[in-house]
Amino acid sequence: EAQVTQNPRYLITVTGKKLTVTCSQNMNHEYMSWYRQDPGLGLRQIYYSMNVEVTDKGDVPEGYKVSRKEKRNFPLILESPSPNQTSLYFCASSLARDSGANVLTFGAGSRLTVL
């Protein structure tokens, strides 16, 4: 089944304790992206990647890091989490070639709470 898999789905952590949210897709998509969803704000892009070793900042990159060493994986790293990073996180992927009309496939989401 074609899918985007995120782990963990739920996580409660404390301020300053580094964590990684993994994202993996099995569709050979070039484009991958991380979003955070907050009430009343919709989805805001954190980082995106057009292909292996190519990443760029989205609208709200502060406090986050990403890497794209393999095409299928795009982990989101919070080096020193803070309470304002409590949110619902989504990873998404799509084809990248030729068309901005490509549809995003989303993971099921990771709900992160930082105490």
Partner 1 sequence: AQSVAQPEDQVNVAEGNPLTVKCTYSVSGNPYLFWYVQYPNRGLQFLLKYITGDNLVKGSYGFEAEFNKSQTSFHLKKPSALVSDSALYFCAVRAGYSSASKIIFGSGTRLSIRP
Contact positions vs partner 1 (CB under 8 A): 4, 30-31, 35, 40-45, 48, 50, 56, 58, 90, 92, 94-109
14 or 108, CB closer to partner 1? 108
Question: How far is Cα 99 from Cα 97, in angstroms, rounded to an integer?
Answer: 6
Kindly tell me which of 49 and 85 has the beta carbon lying closer to partner 1.
Answer: 49
Handedness of CA 42, 66, 57, 15 (dihedral sign): positive
Q: How many CA atoms lie within 13 A of 13 on its CB side?
A: 23
Q: Are strands 110-114 and 10-13 parallel, antiparallel or unpaired?
A: parallel
Q: How far is the CB of 89 from partner 1 (least distance, A)?
A: 10
Q: Of the two residues 18 and 57, which places its CB atom closer to partner 1 in the complex?
A: 57
Residue 9: CB minimum distance to partner 1, A: 9
Closer to partner 1 by Cβ: residue 19 or 96: 96
Q: How far is the CB of 53 from partner 1 (least distance, A)?
A: 15
CB 65, min distance to partner 1, A: 20
Name residues whose C-beta falls within 8 Å of residue 99's C-beta, 6 or more positions apart in sequence. none
Cβ–Cβ < 8 Å for 51, 95: no
